[in-house]
Structure 1
Amino acid sequence: MSKSPFFSDADRALIAGAVGEAESRTSGEIVPVIVPRSSDYSVVGWKSAMAGAFLGLVGYELYVFQYAGWTGDSWLDALGISVFLVLGIVSSLLASTFVEGYERLLIGRAAMDAAVHQRAMKAFVDHEVFSTRDRTGIVLLVSLFEHRVEVFGDSGINEIVKPEDWAEVVSQIIMGIKAKDATGGLVKGIEACGSLLEHAGVHIKVDDTDELSNQPRFEE
């Protein structure tokens, strides 16, 4: 199982311990999956170039108005336009590469939501979360770049727990990440998940076994 530069061995042990404790009260099988990002977002390149070109043209117009007046040959200066376009595009591309907030702005909320959802479904299949006896597996996907958490439950969970019921679980994890304590957020989110499943009626059975590893999964 791969490691993550964001989580130490002690962090992994805390998360695994929280999973074990939560699962001691319910037949749900909780699988935390942490990914640096859910997609490469190919749209960033062209969106960044378009934004840079627009800013370059705006910058050129401001330059003309400031230094050349409202009329004059500066509007026909192809070299000047080219320089501002190149500067705008290069600056935007560099910003989208090194400034995550700007990259997220270019991607947009809807695209990130869709990508995180798709990644959660992929994790569900890749880690065989569907293989539990009573279909009670749950993926807790944490996508760090997008600042998103997705809960993806199997059919045995979805029959009992409504999508909106996961709000507290998601909130606990996100609050931890915002507070620079991703491990603490995950532990609290997993505890909330265990309590939710217990109160919803996903009861542990006499012959219950630990069907899936409690260790968090770290993906590239």
Structure 2
Amino acid sequence: MAWINKYLSEADLARIEASISKVEETTSGEIVPVIVRRSSAVGHVPLTLTLLLTLFLVIVEFPFSDWLWVTPWVYLWPVIVVIFFGLSQVLAKSKWIQKVFVPEKDELDSVHRRAHLEFYLNRIHRTEGGTGVLIFVSVMEKKAVVLADEGISKKLPKEHWDEILGMLGKHLHEGKWADGFVAAIEACGKDLQTHFPVISGKGNELKNHLIVKDV
């Protein structure tokens, strides 16, 4: 997954892991950061591009339709559509193209659904006392989500998590991805330390590293 190196270096990953370990020395809670390449479905993009390219060509050639839509030129249209589809398959690999063809509302819904899925897939909901916190970032959509389990969410209002999310988002917007994760981890750690201090003899329930997923 070489794509992650564009946003986080090996030193950054080690720094994030160290920040989790340091924070969890003072609390019985668990913090899990997750970053995924994208959350939105993009399978429709090649077909949409093909239709748009075909429509554009039909509009452009309209003044010449008297002779382009007769034999033998009319038989070129299936070939052109196939060529457009092949070109669209290549263009659809672009992150920028993918983002253009996914509406903002769909992006937001997809990112929140993926965040909730990762919350359960990574067993954050299984922590003792319901003290797990997910810090989730989806790269293509440039969106983040912070989810707290039942135990900690009862102690703090939604507005508090929005503040942490805003801080994370500010760092991501500035291109300081590692700083954003570390700041969010430390902020969550202060909350957990206050409400769920470390318990002697309690082991680490979840791994202390950034989880990176290609899809």
Q: Which residue of 2 aligns with 1:60?
A: 58
**Correspondences of 1:1-220 after superposition (within 5 Å):** 5-6=4-5, 7-23=8-24, 27-38=28-39, 41=41, 44-65=42-63, 68=64, 72-76=66-70, 77-79=73-75, 81-82=77-78, 84-97=80-93, 99-195=94-190, 197=191, 202-204=195-197, 207=200, 209=202, 210-220=204-214
Q: In the TM superposition, what is the alpha-carbon distance from 1:87 to its structure 2 partner? A: 4.4
Amino acid across the alignment from 2:38? R
The residue type paired with residue 189 of structure 2 is G
Task: Report % sequence identity.
Answer: 26
Q: Quote the offset at 1:26 in angstroms.
A: 5.0
1:136 deviates by 0.8
Q: Secondary structure in 2 aligned to 1:151?
A: strand
Cα 1:203–1:45 change in 2 (3 A) is closer
**Contact 1:171 1:189 survives alignment (8 Å):** no
CA-CA distance at 1:27 after TM superposition? 4.6
Question: C-alpha root-mean-square deviation of aligned residues, in Å?
Answer: 3.2
The amino acid that maps onto 2:154 is E
Per chain length, whose mean CA-contact separation is higher, i.e. which structure has more relative contact order (CA < 8 Å, sep 6+)? 2
Q: Deviations over 1:61-104 (max 9, x none)?
A: 21333xx3xx733344523544553444333332111x212112
Runs of 5+ unmatched residues, structure 2: none
Query: What is the TM-score with the length of structure 2 in the denominator?
Result: 0.76
State the AA in 1 paired with 2:15: L
Counterpart-to-counterpart distance in 1, 2:3 and 2:89: 27
SS in 2 for 1:72: helix
Residues 28 and 202 in structure 1, CA contact (< 8 A), matched pair in contact too: no
SS at match of 2:195: coil
Query: Residue 82 and residue 112 in structure 1: after superposition, are their counterparts in 2 closer, same or farther (change >3 A)?
Result: same
Offset from partner CA, 1:112-141 (integer Å, 9 cap, x none):
333333332332233222232221101112
**Counterpart contact for 2:28–2:199, Cα < 8 Å:** no
Q: Number of aligned pairs?
A: 209
Report the Cα distance in structure 2 between the residues aligned to 1:133 and 1:46, rounded to whole angstroms.
42
